[in-house]
Amino acid sequence: MPRDYSLTGSDTERAVAAGLAAAEWYYTDVPRKVMKDLMKRRDGVAMRDTVIWIGLHVLFAAGGIYFWGAWPAVCFWLAYGVLYGSACDSRWHECGHGTAFRTRWMNNVVYHIASFQVMRNPMSWRWSHARHHTDTSIVGRDPEIAWMHPIKLGLKALAYVGLWDVWGSLKTLLRNAAGRLSTDERAYIPESEIPKVVFWARVHVGIYALTLAVALAMLISKAGWLSLVPFLLIGGPRIYGCWHMVMTGLLQHGGLAEDVLDHRLNSRTLYLNPISRWIYWNMNYHVEHHMFPMVPYYALPKLHEVLKHDLPPANTSLWDGYREMIVAVLRQRREPGYALVKELPATAKPYRAHLHNTALAHAEA
Amino acid sequence: MPWIDACMAEDIEEEDLIRWDHGGLTYVIIKGVDGMFYCTAGLCTHEEVHLSDGLVMDYEVECPKHNALFDYRTGAALRAPACEALETYEVKREGDRILVMVP
């Protein structure tokens, strides 16, 4: 029977009835002193990373414009695209949690910039992500499930060029700007927050309208192909630069179990090269992040060392992660209900099977 | 409401908190950045997660599950997903003991 991924459908009722909604999750025991140290916030690291991030935006955009019409411009725009269209996701995410900076307004400023870049309403996505952490990969509850079954591989491939996603995001922004929210959005956004959702959607739509107006004015003033620059700078990178965000993001939960209450079963940790880790702000330590979302990105490698005796072995590389995920996803297409269950090290506590026995039995059948 | 003997002052480190259960309810007692003691409801107003695993920073306490933020002096909700304030309770120190006035 196909799953119902809406937040008000039959699987929502089933998840609530099974006790999978807002449930108790498995956590590895970590001494309070160690956890306090890991949770500590500092401004310095995120300030350094943000100065580099903004500085590179300026540098690559300037290079793209300076070399306009010559091949080096392509390299500059591709690099700019990744900084805008991929690094925005991790900045949006970490600042949404409020963990990047110690100073609250700094988190808020970067959160709003990154929300705009990633084309997410900063209000509704804050609530959506809170629900994702409450009910990770619980069907009918989690609004951020990337791999819905049956999996449409064509659409997943298209995600790397952002077209489909951007089209969907623009439609949502316009709908929100018109004051309309979907039934799913209303399922996780409190009524009192709806005016803020509408306000920020209008701000985002206003900036895109201004970008369009500038491009049209350039075209009318005979700027020719240079009229594309406003779109290469704003909005466009969400299409031509999102590939890194998609490449890393799909690994977070792909091929793993749904409807379980143990993040070791539904999230993936893998080792990444330093450049990707900087773009992704260490979200490759995804089991660790889900277990302890208060730990800032710069402390995740240390948290990984603290937890790894209790976690399935991390995938050794992006390639290793993809190989594992694709095999599992292809099997999921043939065998609905299948999920990859990773082996735990001998030092780990067993999976919390008693909390989700039925779901796991279904997953392994 | 009477004063209830809750814990030893030394049970709580500076800028930290402990869980304290009393009368079927759960609270947190916080030693603030100013060295003073504070008491609030023990569950986040967003999804009733125990705040005792959270983080105390300056005059704020953060929920460990969704990072909702509260001013522990007033209980005010400072960051979504919390929208409602925490209940706060009077605290006094008598020698080595921390006393809390709760219902």
- Domain assignment present for residue B60? The answer is yes
Does pLDDT of A227 surpass 70? yes
Spell out the domain ranges in chain A: 1-30+243-365, 42-134+161-241
A–B interface: beta-carbon pairs under 8 A: 44
pTM for the whole structure: 0.92
CA distance B96 to chain A (A): 23
pLDDT averaged over chain A?
94
The token duo for A58 is: 């300026």
Please give the pLDDT value at position A337. Answer: 86
CA angle A213, A216, A220 (to 5 degrees): 135
Please give the pLDDT value at position A360. Answer: 47
Using a CB-CB cut-off of 8 Å, the residues of chain A touching B66 are 130, 133-134, 293
Tell me, yes or no, if A192 comes closer than 8 A to chain B by beta carbon. yes
Which chain B residue has its CA at the smallest distance from A41's CA?
Answer: B57
Please give the pLDDT value at position A266. Answer: 95
Please give the pLDDT value at position A164. Answer: 86
Using a CB-CB cut-off of 8 Å, the residues of chain B touching A102 are 57
| Inter-chain CB proximity A99 and B66 less than 8 Å | no
Query: Of B66, B69, B70, B79, which to mutate for an interface test with A (greatest number of A Cβ within 10 Å)?
Result: B66
Give the mean model confidence (pLDDT) for residues A335-359.
Answer: 83
Using a CB-CB cut-off of 8 Å, the residues of chain A touching B54 are 294
| Inter-chain CB proximity A294 and B62 less than 8 Å | yes
Give the mean model confidence (pLDDT) for residues A101-117.
Answer: 97
For residue range A147-190, list pLDDT tens digits in order. Answer: 999 998 998 999 999 888 999 999 999 999 999 999 999 999 99
Tell me, yes or no, if A133 comes closer than 8 A to chain B by beta carbon. yes
At residue A365 the predicted structure's pLDDT band, cuts being 50, 70 and 90, is: very low
For residue range A232-271, list pLDDT tens digits in order. Answer: 999 999 999 999 999 999 999 999 999 999 999 999 999 9
Does pLDDT of A355 surpass 80? no
The ipTM estimated for the assembled molecules is 0.86
For residue range B10-69, list pLDDT tens digits in order. Answer: 999 989 999 999 999 999 999 999 999 999 999 999 988 999 999 999 999 999 999 999
Tell me, yes or no, if A336 comes closer than 8 A to chain B by beta carbon. no
For residue range A290-322, list pLDDT tens digits in order. Answer: 999 999 999 999 999 999 999 999 999 999 999
CA distance A98 to chain B (A): 7
Please give the pLDDT value at position A362. Answer: 52
Please give the pLDDT value at position A22. Answer: 86
- Domain assignment present for residue B103? The answer is no
Please give the pLDDT value at position B85. Answer: 95
For the ranges A88-102, A273-287, A340-354, the lowest mean pLDDT is seen at: A340-354
- Domain assignment present for residue B99? The answer is no
* Residue A105: Cβ-neighbour burial (10 angstroms; 0-12, 13-18, 19+): exposed
- Domain assignment present for residue B101? The answer is no
- The enclosing domain of B8 has a CATH number of 2.102.10.10
Residue A257 sits at φ, ψ, to 5 deg, of -75, 150
For residue range A23-75, list pLDDT tens digits in order. Answer: 889 999 999 999 999 999 999 999 999 999 999 999 999 999 999 999 999 99
Using a CB-CB cut-off of 8 Å, the residues of chain B touching A31 are none
- Domain assignment present for residue B100? The answer is no
Q: Which residues contact A334 (CB under 8 A, 6 or more apart)?
A: none
- Domain assignment present for residue B55? The answer is yes
Tell me, yes or no, if A36 comes closer than 8 A to chain B by beta carbon. yes
- Domain assignment present for residue B47? The answer is yes
- Residues of the domain holding B12: 3-94
What SS3 class is residue A6?
coil
The CA distance from B88 to A65, in Å, is 57
Residue A230, preceding bond cis, omega within 30 degrees?
A: no
Query: Of A104, A261, A295, A303, which to mutate for an interface test with B (greatest number of B Cβ within 10 Å)?
Result: A104
Please give the pLDDT value at position A304. Answer: 98
Number of domains into which chain B is organized: 1
Does pLDDT of A357 surpass 70? no
Using a CB-CB cut-off of 8 Å, the residues of chain B touching A193 are 80, 83
Q: In angstroms, how far apart are the furthest CA atoms of chain A? A: 70
Q: Which residues contact A275 (CB under 8 A, 6 or more apart)?
A: none
Please give the pLDDT value at position A358. Answer: 59
